[in-house]
Amino acid sequence: MSLLLVAVVPNASRTEIVGWQGDALKIRLAAPPVDGKANKELIRCLAKNLDVRKSEIEIVSGHMNKRKRIKLPLTSDELFSRLKLS
């Protein structure tokens, strides 16, 4: 298990992992921060890019903030090797 700090930008034109912003992974989300839609899109994006099930990803803190702590079923090495950053 590892914890990942994420900085999200809701209401973006498309969902994409941008890269590192300080100690957080910056992710643009094509979903509004209303009724949990941005959080669902964040989990979908991480599951797809890290090749894990959505049910294995948990938002530990920051449910209503732009900075969130995410619990993942990966070691730190697995996390960094699976991130596809260009």
What pLDDT score was predicted for residue 83?
86
d(CA 76, CA 1): 8
CATH number of the domain bearing residue 19: 3.30.1200.10
Q: Classify residue 79: in a domain, yes or no.
A: no
Q: Classify residue 81: in a domain, yes or no.
A: no
Average pLDDT over residues 74-83: 90
Average pLDDT over residues 2-9: 96
For the chain, what percent of residues have pLDDT higher than 70?
A: 98
Number of residues assigned to the chain: 86
Residue type, 13: S
Structure tokens at 17: 């992992």
3-class SS string, 19-37: EEECCEEEEECCCCCCCCH
pLDDT 10s digits, 19-56: 999 999 999 999 999 999 999 999 999 999 999 999 99
Residue type, 61: S
User: Based on the structure, what is the number of domains in the chain?
Assistant: 1
Structure tokens at 85: 């950053």
Residue with the two structure tokens 């960094």: 80
pLDDT at 65 over 60: yes
Q: Classify residue 83: in a domain, yes or no.
A: no
Q: Classify residue 80: in a domain, yes or no.
A: no
What pLDDT score was predicted for residue 54?
97
Residue with the two structure tokens 């700090």: 5
